[in-house]
A and B are shown apart, each in its own frame.
Chain A
Amino acid sequence: MTDAPTADPASAAIDAGADLRGHRRRLVLDGLGIIVTAVGFGFVYGLAAREDAGFSPVEVVAMSTLVFAGAAQFAAVGYIAAGVAWPGVVLLTALLNARHILYSASIAPWFAGRSLPLRAIAAHLLTDEAYALSMAHFRRTGRADLWGYWFAAIAVTFIPWNLATLAGVVVGGSIPEPEAFGIDVIFPGAMLGLAVGLITGRREIVAAFVGAGVGIGVGLAMGTAVGIIAGGVIGPAVGLLVPERAAHEMAPLGTTPSAERYAMPGTHLRPDRRREPDE
């Protein structure tokens, strides 16, 4: 295969199929890092829920399947352990998960024209990880390949998270010091790594740094949940202050540069299979 434009529709269809398979393969490999995160973080959550809040396995499974929001679940364990009443826990959860409004609106254009039941199910599975992985996949492919969303949301996140939380609550008690195994660095490392994967220009860089700075500053003053929301709201606003001509957007949506920007080592398409989208 060469870089020459494809001449006939049949060849173009074959090439498009090969490209899609390549993009999906890249998504699968990228997802491995998230699976590690989900398993490690989920296991620690199950352990903490049992040890700190006295959750039973049934309660942990209910949390992980119904709420399915790691940070909020962890926070809830901490507040229950601290004796906070249920209304307070629910309020905290609403605050911490409010960022999903922005995720949902951001990813919605890719679901345009899809059925209401499909979008309703997709909404329940919308997490930080599913958002980041599937948005990167959509950008690479230049279209809404829903296989990528279900893979990111279910195979990479939902199943590993639920199995790991169950394992944590059932057998985690035999691990005396989870920190000795470095499990505590998995979650923040994954969050920041995912943020890196979404950076395609100076606006994103500014938004990320301001988001982190505001998150820390407000978190110290008003609590971590408020800090995360403040960082998520103020960071993008400051990022938009970067003039478009100075943004140096390297990866407009749906282009090959976008795909290359999001690529992970070992998952690149072979050079002889790269084509510009308008060829």
Chain B
Amino acid sequence: MSTEFVGLAVLMLAVTYPSRAVGLLVPGIHRLPKPALDYLQLVGPAVLSAIGAVAVLVRVPEDGPPTFGIGVDSFAVLAALLITAWRRNLLFGILVAVAIAVVARALGLG
């Protein structure tokens, strides 16, 4: 069984852990000025939105530059977003999104 990529995993850990640890391990990081703390409170919504939007609206072909694309998955995720915002229920939103994607694809829509 191949173990070649275990080395790559160690290297990826080496560049990931410092990002996760710097805030938690540097003393006094929580004594940042209020604007900095306000900024950090907004990071979560911004980053999570960017990840979700990019994942569902930016297509990355094997060869060629990224392109903008709307598909069944886009509408399914939009439904999940709206349901989660409306009902405050992430699990329900995800299940609806999966159901929409499954049904739409079964109907040959995407």
* Interface positions of A (Cβ within 8 A of B): 29-30, 32-34, 36-37, 40, 53-59, 62-63, 66-69, 71-72, 76, 78, 80, 82, 86, 89-91, 93-94, 97-109, 111-112, 116, 119-120, 122-124, 126, 128, 131-132, 135, 179-199, 203-205, 207-216, 219-220, 223-224, 227-228, 230-237, 239-240, 262-266
Q: Which residue of A lies closest to B19 (CB)?
A: A100
Also in contact, A236 and B58, with CB within 8 A (given A33-B94, A67-B16, A208-B46) = no
CB B96 to nearest CB in A, in angstroms, measures 9
Docked pose: A232 CA to B95 CA in angstroms: 27
What B residues does A236 contact at CB under 8 A? 39-43, 46
What A residues does B38 contact at CB under 8 A? 203, 240
Do residues A89 and B8 form an inter-chain contact, with CB atoms below 8 A?
yes
What A residues does B54 contact at CB under 8 A? 212, 215-216, 219, 224, 227-228, 231
Do residues A186 and B98 form an inter-chain contact, with CB atoms below 8 A?
yes
Do residues B81 and A219 form an inter-chain contact, with CB atoms below 8 A?
no
Could you pull out 7 A-B pairs where Cβ atoms are within 8 angstroms? A63-B9, A108-B23, A192-B49, A195-B44, A208-B48, A219-B54, A231-B54
Docked pose: A196 CA to B47 CA in angstroms: 12
Q: Is residue B21 contacting chain A, with contact meaning CB distance below 8 A?
A: yes
Do residues A186 and B45 form an inter-chain contact, with CB atoms below 8 A?
no
Question: A54, A66, A101, A262: which contacts B13 (Cβ < 8 A)?
Answer: A66
Also in contact, A235 and B49, with CB within 8 A (given A185-B76, A188-B73) = yes
Docked pose: A89 CA to B51 CA in angstroms: 19
Q: Which residue of B lies closest to A132 (CB)?
A: B44
Docked pose: A239 CA to B39 CA in angstroms: 8
Do residues A223 and B24 form an inter-chain contact, with CB atoms below 8 A?
no
Do residues B24 and A123 form an inter-chain contact, with CB atoms below 8 A?
yes
CB A181 to nearest CB in B, in angstroms, measures 6
